Chains A and B, each alone.
Chain A
């Protein structure tokens, strides 16, 4: 199993551009999550999904959108990039939610200039 994969690894965006961060898992996990990690700060939950077709907001959802059309994929969309969205983004998955271990991808480093 590849586990949780994320693409791209690194991206530079100009203010106002849009992009999609890709996340996929091959463990047949129901739950998937997007976090952001800012320097010196803990991870913050952006969005999560409890299954295909079901998504919900986390702690810091503004400026982001998600969709979950399949069990495997959970892309994160930035519509109008802002410097405040410069961060490292992590995707994670778990079989039955936060009551079980979450498995993390390697992260996407995003720089908005």
Chain B
């Protein structure tokens, strides 16, 4: 059974710093991995989707990497801003399975 872990559960960093969020998964036979952002009381917004054949995806100040062999993904945020404060969730899709398995998220606070 696939399990997705995100550590730490919460992170606070000063504005302007670069930071890395971590996601690990137990079964490396994944189809893809997605990173989502969730603001308090709101739904999820997809940030980046990495297919299993890809090593990384970039969007603006965000860069996500995928290492299937080690069961890890990272989300790199450059030059953090207060507006980046949110909970960040990763989710994996296994082959032959329509289900996404979500981690419990990292709550990020950017301190002005």
A74 at the interface (CB under 8 A from B): no
Interface residues on A, range: 20 to 34
- Do residues B46 and A42 form an inter-chain contact, with CB atoms below 8 A? no
Question: B41 — which chain A residues lie within 8 A by C-beta?
Answer: 107
- Cα separation A58 to B97 with both chains bound (whole Å): 10
Chain A positions 28-81 with a Cβ under 8 Å from a chain B Cβ? 31, 40-45, 48, 50, 56, 58-59
- Do residues A104 and B100 form an inter-chain contact, with CB atoms below 8 A? no
- Do residues B42 and A99 form an inter-chain contact, with CB atoms below 8 A? no
Which of B32, B45, B97, B102 meets A42, CB within 8 Å?
A: B102
B81 at the interface (CB under 8 A from A): no
Interface residues on B, range: 20 to 34
- Do residues A104 and B104 form an inter-chain contact, with CB atoms below 8 A? no
Question: A97 — which chain B residues lie within 8 A by C-beta?
Answer: 98
- Do residues B100 and A41 form an inter-chain contact, with CB atoms below 8 A? no
- Do residues B46 and A101 form an inter-chain contact, with CB atoms below 8 A? yes
- Do residues B49 and A100 form an inter-chain contact, with CB atoms below 8 A? yes
